[in-house]
Amino acid sequence: MEKKDEVKYYVTKAGIKIGSYYEKKPPKDLTYDMELVQLAILNDQSYMRKEKLKSLGVMLAVCGFIFLLMLVTKN
């Protein structure tokens, strides 16, 4: 472990080291695009299907909102 990554811990009067086993989480550098590429390589069709259905749902909601807005503002 490098000096800057060394974990600082607290020692009580009884000699108990609090926080000596703490491990920092590794940095999360997996972006959304990287995840999609990885899923495409792994051929995970269920995730891709969910993404397509979610996009379709958003598109239908926007189209429905625009249609209702056209009906409400009709002269």
Residue at 3: amino acid letter: K
Rounded mean pLDDT, 49-56: 91
Does residue 43 or residue 75 have the better pLDDT?
43
pLDDT band at 3 (very low <50, low <70, confident <90, very high): low
pLDDT confidence of residue 23: 82
What H or E segment, with its residue span, contains residue 33? Answer: helix 32-42
Task: Specify the pTM.
Answer: 0.46
What are the counts of helices (DSSP H) followed by strands (DSSP E) for the chain?
2, 2
CA distance 54 to 60: 10
